[in-house]
């Protein structure tokens, strides 16, 4: 039994992955090789984020992405960094980025490129210039050999979130924290800048089953479907227990708080975004996988996020994400 005086072991994310893969005799170390590329990319991104004010990386590129959003310089740097780090790993077959219209085929099927990595390289980028927390989100699936050759890469990517083999995020906040799951619990690591490694800080994270906190942009409330408006009315009542509102406007930061403190994050359909604003493949799916692994829940208001079969690569979805009981409470108004 470790006494409190004994120094805690230093377990890096790479060690943790390798140890967890030892439990699977058939594991080939492929996955840790892939996750190593992601951790490397996020360390490079973190370095750019921390020096944004010093290096010429702030501001827009003057370009718009497939979402029609202004691409910030750091968005582009982050995207190129991930593509470069992942492209070098021979087990990555296809990459899907929020910043690129089409899938990037790194290797054809059969050349070992068995994984598909889907990512939002720098979520919340509109907050970059005002020093608010931002994040990277990633989702990992396996390629499907059974897809028709016609448009294989694209159709291989259009898999339901339940097919994910891993998912994670990095939040560049007051500290840089990575959370990931491979379906065996959620584990968190903090980047120690003194030696540039992610060190295990929380293992088997569990989301509180409820929390008197909701996270939504209430500026659009009048255009939410009626059920959401009734939920927000209820949450303000004494009977509900006077919920508080926390909204950073950066999905990864709002989710990270919800994961640790409990509560519910909402991005409902709005007048401007009738399908919701957030993307299914590389935002809702990975965070839903993490939420469920931590005992939470994720729905689009009609169905479980992880059951949704995507039709298009950059498909948007309404999102209700957080503590199990809080998501159920929202659904009781919305259903």
Angle at 12 between CA 16 and CA 54, to 5 degrees: 135
* Contact indicator for 94, 153 with CB cutoff of 8 Å: yes
DSSP state for residue 241 in the 8-state scheme? T
Reported residue count of the chain is 335
Contact 186, 180 (CB under 8 A): yes
Q: In terms of CB distance, is 57 or 109 closer to ligand P6P? A: 57
Q: Which of the stretches 202-210, 233-241, 244-252, 325-333 binds ligand P6P when contact is defined by CB under 6 A?
A: 244-252
Residue 236 in tokens: 């303000």
Closest separation between CB of residue 311 and ligand P6P, Å? 20
Q: Which of 250, 293, 299, 323 binds ligand P6P (CB under 6 A)?
A: 250
Among positions 16, 73, 187, 277, the unique one binding ligand P6P when judged by CB under 6 A: 277
User: What's the DSSP call for residue 304?
Assistant: B
Q: Is 217 in the site for ligand P6P (CB under 6 A)?
A: yes
126 binds ligand P6P (CB under 6 A): yes
By CB under 6 A, name the one of 121, 124, 263, 276 that touches ligand P6P. Answer: 124
Within 10 angstroms of residue 29's Cβ, the number of other Cβ atoms is: 13
What are the distances in angstroms from CA 132 to CA 49, 110, 120, 129, 264? Answer: 11, 43, 17, 8, 20
Q: What would the two tokens of residue 150 be?
A: 């016609």
One of 170, 251, 260, 305 touching ligand P6P (CB under 6 A): 251
From 18-26, 35-43, 122-130, 307-315, span contacting ligand P6P (CB under 6 A): 122-130
Report how many residues bind ligand P6P under the rule CB under 6 A: 9
Binding site for ligand P6P (CB under 6 A): 123-124, 126, 217, 249-251, 254, 277
């Amino acid at each position: 039994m470790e006494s409190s005086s004994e120094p805690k072991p230093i377990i890096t994310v790479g060690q943790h992955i390798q140890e967890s893969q030892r439990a699977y005799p058939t594991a080939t170390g492929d996955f840790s090789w892939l996750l190593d590329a992601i951790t490397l990319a996020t360390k490079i991104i973190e370095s750019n984020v921390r020096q944004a004010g010093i290096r010429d990386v702030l501001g827009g590129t003057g370009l718009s992405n497939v979402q029609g959003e202004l691409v910030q310089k750091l968005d582009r740097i982050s995207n190129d960094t991930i593509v470069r780090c992942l492209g070098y790993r021979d087990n990555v077959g296809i990459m899907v980025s929020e910043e690129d219209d089409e899938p990037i085929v790194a290797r054809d099927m059969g050349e070992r490129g068995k994984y598909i990595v889907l990512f939002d390289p720098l979520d919340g980028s509109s907050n970059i210039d005002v020093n608010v927390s931002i994040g990277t989100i990633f989702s990992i699936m396996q390629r499907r050999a059974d897809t028709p050759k016609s448009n294989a890469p694209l159709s291989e990517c259009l898999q339901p979130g339940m097919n994910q083999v891993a998912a994670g995020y990095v939040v560049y906040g007051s500290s840089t924290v990575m959370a990931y799951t491979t379906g065996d619990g959620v584990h968190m690591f903090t980047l120690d800048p003194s030696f540039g490694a992610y060190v295990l800080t929380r293992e088997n994270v569990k989301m509180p089953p409820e929390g008197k906190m909701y996270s939504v942009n209430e500026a659009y409330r009048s255009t939410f479907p009626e059920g959401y408006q009734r939920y927000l009315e209820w949450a303000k009542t004494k009977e509900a227990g006077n919920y508080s509102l926390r909204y950073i406007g950066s999905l990864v930061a709002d989710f990270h708080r919800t994961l640790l403190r409990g509560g519910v994050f909402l991005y409902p359909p709005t007048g401007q975004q009738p399908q919701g604003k957030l993307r299914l493949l590389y935002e809702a799916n990975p965070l839903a996988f993490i939420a469920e692994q931590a005992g939470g829940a994720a729905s689009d208001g009609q169905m479980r996020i992880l059951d949704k079969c995507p039709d298009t690569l950059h498909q948007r979805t309404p999102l209700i994400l957080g503590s199990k009981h809080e998501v159920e409470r929202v659904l009781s108004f919305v259903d």
